[in-house]
Chains A and B, each alone.
Chain A
């Protein structure tokens, strides 16, 4: 049976990985929003 600590670390790692992906996606989204906004103001 896995120890509770193992499960804890596994969950933390899973969530950290997901946060990294989401942050990356957010940066890309902000970039695209900026480009689109600049395009609108031209």
Chain B
């Protein structure tokens, strides 16, 4: 495309604004948030439930936009992200900043109006955590960046639950723990087969800093912790058999797939089929596990 006034002016294409919110990530955020809301023992009127989920989605979009505002230089160095609106110069940075801050403020205020103060505070904390602690502070400094970033992604079910009940409880904290422990094996599996990209951008991802073998071991260890936290809601009597069986079966498959990753000796992406398989299954795993929480609640009445 030839550069034009429109490409560098203030009038960004709305499709690029949408792309700033990372719609792909938002799907999982909306789904887990909705599950947190539906798993709560209190049911909200549909309009308020819808508003709560909308706010969680907008908050995640705001965090995504601010992340891309801050990381435009970094995104330009990686093939996977080079075509995002900022590195591709289809939008100026200030537009992205205004859009992100505006969306964040809007989502928190609307959450407060529609549900309660605690849900709004948690939403604000999750956005600030992702932008300040993860993006600005830790991502470029430590190979544990993904572990910290996972905490930001773990907020939605907790916020959904609190939006419905107004209080924090053991089950939503366990749902938080599940996403928190799921994120490292999920992303490290990905980072193994796109390793060269992160190396080019100087991001201290675990495979680059600690090596492939060590990453595989960490994936397996986190998978063990994930399996424990996944069956904990049933073991503690917070959910019924529907969830208990689902969690046990899904976690067993997850563990087997990560054990295969641990046994894999391949050093090049072409030999990393087990890693690709674990990555693909990890997405299905989270969807299925959270669907099971809701199904279990419905079966129990």
Contacts and interface: CB of A to CB of B under 8 A. Distances in A.
Interface string A1-42: 000110110011011001000000000011011011101100
B113 A4 contact: no
A7 B6 contact: yes
Contact of A12 (B11, B47, B113): B11
A12 to B, nearest CB: 5
Contacts, number: 44
Contact of A39 (B5, B14, B45, B54): B45
B280 to A, nearest CB: 34
A11 B48 contact: no
Range, interface on chain B = 10 to 19
B13 interface: yes
B188 to A, nearest CB: 38
B288 to A, nearest CB: 31
B167 interface: no
A28 to B, nearest CB: 10
Contacts of B13: 11, 14-15
Given A11-B11, A12-B11, A35 B47 contact: yes
A8 B9 CA distance: 8
B113 A8 contact: no
A29 B114 CA distance: 10
A33 B6 contact: no
Interface of B: 4-6, 9, 11-14, 45-48, 50-51, 54, 113-114
Q: Which 4 A-B pairs have the closest CB atoms?
A: A32-B47, A36-B45, A4-B4, A4-B5
13 contacts: A7-B4, A7-B6, A8-B9, A11-B11, A11-B12, A15-B11, A29-B51, A29-B54, A32-B47, A33-B114, A36-B45, A36-B46, A36-B48
Given A8-B11, A11-B11, A33-B114, 15 more contacts: A4-B4, A4-B5, A8-B9, A11-B12, A11-B13, A15-B14, A29-B50, A29-B51, A32-B47, A33-B113, A36-B45, A36-B46, A36-B47, A36-B48, A40-B48
